[in-house]
Amino acid sequence: MHITKIITTLVCVTFIQACVAQVGSNSSVVNPNLAKKDELTALPGVTPAIGDALSDSDKATLRAKLFLPINLNTVSDAELSLVPGINRKMKHEFEEYRPYTFITQFQREIGKYVDDKEVARFEQYVFVPMDLNSASSEAFGSIPGMSRRMVREFNEYRPYTSMDQFRREIGKYVDDNEVARLERYVFIK
């Protein structure tokens, strides 16, 4: 099997897993950034041959294309190290400007050290959580996989008084896994 086909197969299989990876503590979902060979080969469709074919270089390439965005305000140093192409100096710069309130703040601050293209590349791997009661519809729309209908539902139930209320109201429209996935991008002040 050609290595490109192996990686494509692994990306597809892991992507399906990553969609669920935003649920709860991720105790039963493989994190594509941390997975060892035995964890990868335990995934449906990932054969030992595919696991054997993935070199460290292949894993780095895969991680650059398959990444669960990390919360800029709570990310650990170890998690930040997983961002492809980040070095010690840039990790320091990411951490120095915490807490971030908007992604534009991240763009402005990190843009002091790297060009716009590199800022945009880094931006693919991170997010800034948003307040359910003050975020704009445009901000809600930036949540991966967010539909216009869900943006309307997020807005309809304002003001939110608790995350339980958010879970209950949004749970009328999507299943618990999707509520948990959406929840990681929001908070209530």
What's the whole-model pTM score?
Answer: 0.67
**Domain residues for 182?**
130-187
Lowest mean pLDDT among 58-72, 104-118, 127-141, 164-178: 58-72
- Could you please report the per-residue DSSP string of 149-184? HHHHHHHHTPSP--HHHHHHHHTTTS-HHHHHHHHT
For residues 30 and 46, membership in a common domain is answered with: yes
Q: Confidence band (pLDDT; 50, 70, 90) for 31?
A: low
What does the pLDDT read at residue 108? Answer: 95
Instruction: Report the C-alpha gap between 154 and 166 in whole angstroms.
Output: 8
Write down which residue in 21, 50, 65 finishes a domain.
65
Q: Angle 141-142-146 (CA atoms, 0-180°, nearest 5)? A: 55
Give the residue from 101, 158, 113, 106 showing the smallest Cα distance to 133: 158
What does the pLDDT read at residue 32? Answer: 62
Write down which residue in 108, 127, 146 finishes a domain.
127
Instruction: Report the C-alpha gap between 88 and 13 in whole angstroms.
Output: 32
